[in-house]
Amino acid sequence: MLNAFTCPAGSVYRRLAAVLPIVAFIALPSAGVAQNVLTPESAAAVKAAYLADLDNMRGKFVGLAQAFPQDKYTWRPMEGVRSVSEVLMLIASEGYGFAPTILGGKAAMPRAEMGKLSSITDKEQVIEQLNKAFDYAKKEITAIDPSTLLGTRRAMGREMALPGLVLFVDGDMHEHLGQLIAYARMNHIVPPWSK
């Protein structure tokens, strides 16, 4: 578990570790009654931490995409799981869709078009799509007025407040980052930030 004292040296982690648990705690409903306890300022702080973490993940995903040689883009550890390029294109589709829409932003393209991204295996095209997707997510999320983020939003079949929404998307994207790190290690590729 990350906390402000044991996080890696990056200030992004320290900000996330310090801000999100506090905001998540104060946003919890009291006595089973949902309350609007976020302020525009706290919503803006959560949004800023989310954007900072997306920037951090962009660097890591793009760094890994660059580190994998082209001939490993279709590699998968076994049948039935995503290949290297499929994991990267899943993250691109999340940048085009899931990351901004969970907070009320617009998707860059229809879901069917995003689904076609998984067939891209060319290294340069994959990296281009990753960069475009993270740029798109950042633009959409930056444009969201924090005052629209004070209540709850229905996501994945339940009502969630802003901190939960951000932790849900961040957690999913970090899970796939871990997946890609495992793929890199299995192929004797050292993640660029750990050299």
pLDDT at 4: 39
Distance CA 18, CA 192 (A): 26
Q: Is the pTM higher than 0.95? A: no
pLDDT at 36: 54
191, 179 Cβ separation under 8 angstroms: no
| Three-class SS of the chain | CCCCCCCCCCHHHHHHHHHHHHHHHHCCCECCECCCCCCHHHHHHHHHHHHHHHHHHHHHHHHHHHHCCHHHCCCCCCCCCCCHHHHHHHHHHHHHHHHHHCCCCCCCCCHHHHHHHHHCCCHHHHHHHHHHHHHHHHHHHHHCCHHHHCCEEEECCEEEEHHHHHHHHHHHHHHHHHHHHHHHHHCCCCCHHHC
73, 124 Cβ separation under 8 angstroms: no
pLDDT at 41: 94
Residues 6+ positions from 192 with CB-CB distance below 8 Å: 63, 64, 66, 67
Distance CA 131, CA 149 (A): 26
Block mean pLDDT (10 aa), the chain, length 195: 42 52 46 60 95 97 98 97 98 97 95 94 98 98 95 88 93 97 97 88
pLDDT at 15: 52
pLDDT at 195: 75
**What domains sit in the chain, N to C, each tagged with a CATH number?**
11-194 (1.20.120.450)
Nearest to 96, CA basis, from 178, 173, 180: 173
